[in-house]
Structure 1
Amino acid sequence: MNVSVSAIIPVYNGESFLQDAIESILQQTHQVSEIIIIDDGSKDKSFDIAISISKSSSVPIKVFRQQNSGVSVARNLGLLKSSGDLVAFLDVDDIWKPTKIEKQLALYDELKNHEAFIFTDYYLDDENDTCRALAGYTDYNVCTQTNFSKEDFQLAFIRRNFVGTASTVIFNRELAMKIGGFNHRLNHSEDFDFILRYSQHGCVYVITDPLAVKRSHGANLSGDLKLHFWSHYIALKSNINLSSSFTRFNYRGDVEYEMMLSHDMYLIRFCNEVYELSIKKGLKEYFKAILKIKTFRGLREFSKAFIRKVIRTASFGVIKRS
């Protein structure tokens, strides 16, 4: 199999995890051709650790440093600096199981599709079946078939992002560059946005074996729901706009509707989250959102959510006056 693979690790303040991440790449049963490390302006010793390991590595390691610009910019720099036919990302706080690349390349070779996008199941912290991230999902089953359409994948993926983490994926580097890489405006949901655009050109497949471990810790547990909902809304809005502007990104009608409905739901969730943090700001966001709703079902759900908040706000006023 004459295919080269570049492993890319974006890192920001990952000194506690970087060595384990690199070791999990070096221990692959099918070795990658290079490891690209992008230090996103870390304030700890991540850059120094990367340089030190690169000096004695059995696999070429290239280390680059940029001003802190976010994960999307770091991923794009990794794509630019890499040279492999295929690219596999590894978040600095995650690790690969030893056979990850071997099994993905075996499927890649079987598919005879050089634009295939292949992801895997993964463990959440502990390596046992109760901690398999995709164990309770049925949506991703479409990706186990060999004759499914891109629309089958897109409909399931928009309803539920079952890929979960960039640490399980492998895909064609050239195609990734052609579609514009990762949206630098997004530091949340950038993977969702990228995969959705990629799926317009390359089919998506899953290996149901858990071949990575996503490790939870303080920094990645303190998620900002407001930012997550807003970023997902922006990602969907961007893809809807692409579909209407460029022929090469035209999504099928039912897929575009599913994007618009999901767009509405995430906008509502964003407004709800802002309201929980500040009633005044939340109501302001609801009023701003009215003209952004794209579907009748979304409008119905928006109206119900808005009315509940108005009643709740009025109730607060009654309680305060009593």
Structure 2
Amino acid sequence: MTISVIIPTYNRCAQLTSLVDAVENQNHKEFELVLLNDGSSDNTRETLDRLAKKSTLNVKVIHSQNLGRSKARNLAVSKSSGELLVFFDDDVRPNPDAVYEHLSIHQQHDSPVIAGGPYYYDNSKFTNSFNTFRKYMEDQWYSKDSTSSQSDSLRINGGNFSITREAFDKIGGFDSRLTDKEDFKLAYDAFHYHNIPTFSAPKTWVYHDDFRNLVDYIARGRESRIEEQKLRSLDPSIADFDPNRFQIEAPKSLKFRLAKRIFRSTPILQLVEKALDIRIVPQKIAFKLYDICITVNVQYLK
């Protein structure tokens, strides 16, 4: 099975060298690497051209106008040739066996599947206590079992998953109406309309080099939640599949209303993070405060 590793990128030229290095260090090297510059305004064009020129891999660089995540990925797929499509984001570093393990999952199944791998964090790059909390929080999303299993939640990381070209084309690719959550909709459409299941692929793990602060994390989370509501309008059946996921009305309790009043203030959030960075507060309490901040701002939009 031939492989295309597809990486769209936007304004992250500083991270591209470490990403491409990680891809070049794959133990399984029989693949083409498709790098798509999604209309970046930094030095991404020059960086990609330089990296491609010196690479020992079969590299294809595409420069396009800014299309957004869904359209950019679809364009990259249309320019690729592999029978298996492996998607990485521009802020990850795949482990040396990631591509091989993606291939292995598909070779184990006679019918099409989606294989989704986990994001982990490189502790050596942590800059504050919020990074530590985020690792703690996100590690709980993944099973400790290293074997692959079918995912009932259909949640995949768009920056680390794979699908055969045949299945991708059958589904219709990423929904170009979405600027976020296009990965979940792809998995949902695959399963509910084409009987293509999603499998966890723990051994395909990548390091996720995203170390934004609390305020930026919340802003990004709210953008994602807003787009999630758009998902429901595009296909109401999605809300029936996972009702809790689409609940945005906050609890009416006095305690929650008070928390919302306090922690929806950007200066307060900045103060919380600065105070917790001193690490005088016990970690359990610090993590609880971070959890409250995220819940009142991201989980509940109203």
TM-score of the alignment, normalized to the shorter chain, above 0.5: yes
* CA gap 1:137/1:54 in 2 versus in 1, 3 angstroms: closer
In the TM superposition, residue 140 of structure 1 has moved relative to its aligned partner by: 10
Is the Cα contact below 8 Å between 2:99 and 2:204 reproduced in 1? no
- Counterpart of 1:189 in structure 2 is 181
Change in 2 beyond 3 A, CA 1:9/1:210: closer
Is it true that 1:213 corresponds to 2:217 in the alignment? Answer: no
How big is the alpha-carbon RMSD for the aligned residues of Structure 1 and Structure 2? Answer: 3.2
**In 1, distance between residues paired with 2:118 and 2:203?**
6
Q: State whether structure 2 residue 150 is matched by structure 1 residue 169.
A: no
For 1:124, the aligned partner's letter is Y
Are residue 30 (structure 1) and residue 28 (structure 2) matched? yes
Question: CA 1:15–1:197 in structure 2 vs 1: closer, same or farther (change >3 Å)?
Answer: same
1:59-104 Cα offsets, whole Å, 9 max, x none, are 1111111111211111111111111011111111111000111122
* Structure 1: tracts of 5 or more residues without a match: 244-254, 278-304, 310-322
> 1:239 matched to which residue of 2?
235
State the 1:45 CA deviation.
1.0
Distance 1:226 1:32, change over 3 A: same
Q: CA deviation at 1:47?
A: 1.1
Residue of structure 1 in register with 2:76 after alignment:
78
Matched, 1:42 2:46: no
1:102 aligned partner: 100
Equivalent residue number for residue 279 of structure 2: none
Query: In the TM superposition, what are the counterparts of 1:62-211 in structure 2 within 5 Å?
Result: 62-113=60-111, 115-126=112-123, 131=135, 135-137=139-141, 144-145=148-149, 153-154=151-152, 156-157=153-154, 161=155, 163=156, 165-200=157-192, 201=194, 202-209=196-203, 211=205
Normalising by structure 2, report the TM-score: 0.70
Change (3 A) 1:186 1:256: closer
What is the Cα deviation at residue 32 of structure 1? 4.1
Q: Distance in 1 between matches of 2:35 and 2:93?
A: 14
Corresponding residue for 1:57?
55
Structure 1 residues 100 and 63: alpha-carbon distance in aligned structure 2, compared to 1, 3 A threshold: same
Report the equivalent of 1:265. Answer: 247
SS class of match (2:235)? helix
Instruction: Determine what percentage of the aligned residue pairs are the same residue.
Output: 23
What are the Cα deviations for residues 173-209 of structure 1, in whole angstroms up to 9, with x where unaligned? Answer: 2221232211222222121112211223322111233
3-state SS of the aligned residue for 2:7?
A: strand
Please report how far the alpha carbon of residue 23 of structure 1 lies from its aligned counterpart in structure 2 after TM superposition: 1.4
Distance in 2 (CA, whole Å) between partners of 1:127 and 1:194 is: 34
- CA shift, 1:33, in A, is 1.9
TM-score (norm 1): 0.66
Distance (Å, rounded) in 2 between the aligned partners of 1:79 and 1:119:
18
Give, in whole Å, the separation in 1 of the partners of 2:204 and 2:54.
30
Checking the alignment, whether the CA contact within 8 Å between 2:35 and 2:61 is kept in structure 1 is: yes
| Partners of 1:122 and 1:210 within 8 A in 2 | no
Secondary structure of 1:137's aligned partner: coil
Q: Distance between the aligned counterparts of 2:27 and 2:124, measured in 1?
A: 19
> What corresponds to 2:274 in structure 1?
none
Q: Distance in 2 between matches of 1:78 and 1:133?
A: 32
One-letter identity of the residue aligned with 2:23: I
Q: Give the secondary-structure state (helix, strand or coil) at the position aligned to 2:159.
A: helix
Return the offset for 1:215: 1.0
CA distance 1:239–1:42, change in 2 (3 Å): same
Question: Which residue is 2:286 aligned to?
Answer: none
Give ranges in structure 2 of 5+ residues lacking alignment.
126-131, 251-256, 266-299
Change (3 A) 1:177 1:139: same
Summarize the Cα distance change of 1:78–1:124 in structure 2 as closer, same or farther, 3 Å threshold.
same
Aligned 8 A contact 2:10 2:39 in 1: yes
What code does the residue aligned with 2:43 have?
K
Deviates more, 1:229-238 or 1:94-103: 229-238
AA of the residue aligned to 2:54: S
Q: Distance in 2 between matches of 1:55 and 1:112?
A: 38
Matched, 1:228 2:224: yes
Give the direction of change, closer, same or farther, for the CA distance of 1:31–1:239 in structure 2 (3 Å limit): farther
Q: Residues 208, 132 of structure 1: CA spacing in aligned structure 2 closer, same or farther, 3 A cutoff?
A: farther
